[in-house]
Amino acid sequence: MRSDCLYTVVLRTKFVKIPINTPVLGKEELSAVVSVVKSGGLTSASKDGGKNVQEFEKSVRTFTKSKYAVSVNSGTAALQAALYALDIKKGDEVIVPSFTFVASANAIASTGAKPVFADILKENFTIDPESIAKKITRKTKAIMPVHLYGHISSIGKIKEIAKKHNLSVVEDAAQSLGSTLKGKQTGTFFELGCYSLYPGKVMTSGEGGVIVTNNKKLYDKLQMIRNHGMVKGYDSKIFGLNLRLPEINAAIAKIQIKKLPKFIQSRRRNAKLLSELLSDTKIKIPFEGKNEKFNWSLYTIATKNRDSILKKLNSKGIGAAVYYPTPVHKIPIYKIKSKLANTDWASKHVLSLPVHPKVSVKNIEYIAKSVRDLVNE
C-alpha cells in the first residue's frame, strides 16, 4: 500500500482525510524556489556546491552539532556515499537489520559488499546487538544500525561491539533527524550519519539526503564522491557519481530545517496525546527510553488482527500504513533463509498512525477512538 495515499470518508457531513505523512510547505519555500529558477543557477558542480547547498549544509552542521555536512540527492545516495568513503567493497560484509526499507541493504549491495541481516529488538524495532555479535565474521567491515521510525538504536552496546571487532559504523538515520539521546542527535554517534529528505520524512527537500561527520578525511572524500571524484573538474581522484543536491532542493531544505524544531514539537505533542488515549488498550504502543527524545517520524503500534484493523482505519479516512510488511531478507532480490523471529513478528503486527504537524488534536482523538473501537471488536 502506498504511504502517500489519501483516504476519504463522510463524518458528520464533512470529509475527513488524514494521510500517514505529508510535507508541510509554505510561501517561504515557494519564494526560495522561484528565486533559484530566476537566477538560472539550478545546480553547481563545484566542490563545495552552490549557494543554497552551502547554506543548507551550514544549517545542518548547526542543528546536529557536527563539524561537517555533505548534502546529496537522496537518503539512499547518502548511505552509498558513506559506504564508498569507508572503502566498503566486494568481498566485504555489512551487518544491517532486515526490518527496514530496502534502501539500507541496496546501498550496501551497490558497493559490491554483502548485506548480512540481523534481527531486531521487539521493544523498539531497532537492530538487536546480540544478533549483530552472532553475525560477525572475518569479512565483516561495518555495522549499519537503522533508527527506525525515529526510535533510537542501542548506541552503547553497538559501540562496544564495533570497538571490540574494529568495525566502522554508518548510522542510517533516514527517519530520525531530530531524535536525541542525552541531547545528542542521532546520526552523530559514530563516523558517519545519514539522513533522508524525502517528502514523507520530518522535513523535506523534495528528494535529497545529507551525511554528517566529524572526520575531515571522510568529509573531503564525501565531497569528491558526490561529484564523480572530482575536486577542480575533470580530475577524478577517487570513484564517485553524480550524487549532487540541486539548488532548488537545497533552497527548500534550508527553509525546512529552520521549521524543523516546530515540526518535531507538533509531532511530539500528537504522539504524547495518542499514547495517553491508547494507554489502557491491549495494543503495544511505542515509548521513549531513558534520556531519549523521538522526532516521531512514524508512530508505530503493534497489534493482533493488524491487516483487518488497517483496512477498516483506511475506510474511515485514517491513512494508517504498514512499514514494513515484508522484511528485506524475504524480498525477491535478497530472498534468503534466516531465522529472524522478532523481525518476522514485527512484519505481521506493526501499524503506523498519523502524527505529523497537519494532524490536529481532534484528528488524534478520532484516530484513537477508531483504533480503540476496532481493537475491542
What are the pLDDT digits (tens) for 257-299? 999 999 999 999 999 999 999 999 999 999 999 999 999 999 9
Locate the domains of the chain by residue range.
Answer: 9-22+260-375, 27-255
* Placement of cell 474511515 in the chain: 316
Distance in angstroms (rounded) separating the CA atoms of residues 192 and 199: 23
In single-letter form, the type of residue at position 60 comes to V
Q: How far is CA 152 from CA 20, 128, 251, 357, in A?
A: 21, 12, 29, 21
CA angle 274, 277, 280 (to 5 degrees): 125
pLDDT tens, position by position, 187-224: 999 999 999 999 999 999 999 999 999 999 999 999 99
**Domain 9-22+260-375: CATH architecture, name and number where available:** Alpha-Beta Complex (3.90)
Q: What is the CATH number of domain 27-255?
A: 3.40.640.10
Entry pTM: 0.94
* Placement of cell 488534536 in the chain: 361
Q: How far is CA 106 from CA 74, 116, 200, in A?
A: 13, 12, 20
Query: What pLDDT shows up at residue 16?
Result: 60
Distance in angstroms (rounded) separating the CA atoms of residues 148 and 97: 10
Q: How far is CA 259 from CA 24, 25, 28, 361, in A?
A: 9, 10, 11, 20
Distance in angstroms (rounded) separating the CA atoms of residues 301 and 37: 43
Q: Report CA 366 to chain centroid distance, whole Å.
A: 27
C-alpha cell read off for 294: 523521538
In the sheet that holds 168-172, the strands lie side by side as: 68-72, 209-213, 192-196, 168-172, 140-143, 93-97, 114-118
Q: Cα(first)–Cα(last) distance of the chain, in Å?
A: 24
**Residues of the chain scoring pLDDT < 50:** 1-15
